[in-house]
């Protein structure tokens, strides 16, 4: 199917962990999440077995990077600046934990629209930022 990348790109004797595939795609600038080819549901985090229907026929799809804040907290470490950690409901359905980059971090509200940020944590971990009205109607912000 268009937009899907087969997961089994490597010889079966050297299968690469889905975790490694996910982070490798992020390093290459692609935010990809798994989609089941049988029940057509997306899920997160990546699994070899669809957690909805049990199928092993899974493919990567490019996520739009748009989502909605489901839960949020300002984390206040002793030795770092406070930051907003949030559970994000991705447009494709699955939920993930991330950070929302906002100043001040208290400005992130539950229900706020967010988009993937170009700023990643430790090179690979995707972070989000509050969407402007334009972002929420425009296409994906994650550039390949």
Partner 1 sequence: MPGVSILGTGLAGLGHAGGRTDMEILAQASGRAVRSSGLKMSDIDGVITASLTSGWWTTRVAEYLGLRPRFSESTMFGGSSFIAALITAEMAIHADRCSNVLICYGATPRSTGNNTERNRMRAALDPQPYEHPFRLINPVSSYALAASRHMAEFGTTREQLAEVAVAARAWAELNPDATLREPLTLAEVLDSPMISDPLSVRDCCLVTDGAAAFVVSASDAPQRSDLVPVRVAGVGHAHDHRQISEMPDLTRTAAVASGREAFRRAKMAPTDIDVLEIYDAFTITPIMFLEDLGFCEKGEGGPLAASGRIAPGGDLPMNTNGGGLSCVHPGMYSAFLVVEAVAQLRGEAGARQVPGARTALVHGNGGVFSSQATAILTTTGGGPHE
* Residues making contact with partner 1 (CB under 8 A): 19, 44-45, 70-77, 85-87, 95-99, 106, 110-111, 121-122, 124-125
Nearer to partner 1, 20 or 138 (CB): 20
**Min dist. Cβ of residue 13 to partner 1 (A):** 24
Nearer to partner 1, 86 or 102 (CB): 86
- Residue 133: which H helix or E strand, with range? helix 133-137
Nearer to partner 1, 48 or 138 (CB): 48
**Phi–psi pair at 27, nearest 5 degrees:** -60, -30
6 closest CA partner among 29, 30, 37, 27: 37
**Min dist. Cβ of residue 139 to partner 1 (A):** 25
Nearer to partner 1, 39 or 138 (CB): 39
**Min dist. Cβ of residue 95 to partner 1 (A):** 6
Evaluate the CA torsion angle 81, 76, 100, 129 in order and state its sign: negative
**Min dist. Cβ of residue 88 to partner 1 (A):** 9
DSSP characters over 15-77: PPPHHHHHHHHHHTT--EEEEETTT--B-SS--SS-TTT--S-EEEEE---EEEEEEEEEE--
């Amino acid at each position: 199917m268009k937009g899907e990348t087969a997961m089994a790109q490597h010889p079966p004797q050297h299968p690469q962990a889905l975790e490694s595939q996910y982070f490798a795609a992020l390093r290459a600038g692609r935010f990809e999440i798994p989609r089941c080819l049988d029940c057509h549901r997306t899920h997160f985090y990546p699994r070899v077995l669809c957690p909805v229907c049990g199928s092993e026929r899974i493919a990567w799809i490019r996520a739009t990077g748009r989502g909605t804040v489901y839960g949020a907290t300002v984390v206040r470490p002793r030795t770092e600046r406070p930051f907003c950690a949030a559970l994000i409901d991705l447009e494709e359905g699955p939920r993930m934990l991330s950070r929302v980059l906002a100043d001040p971090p208290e400005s992130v509200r539950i229900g706020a629209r967010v988009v993937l940020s170009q700023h990643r944590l430790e090179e690979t971990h995707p972070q989000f930022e509050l969407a402007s009205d334009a972002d929420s109607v425009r296409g994906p912000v994650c550039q390949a």
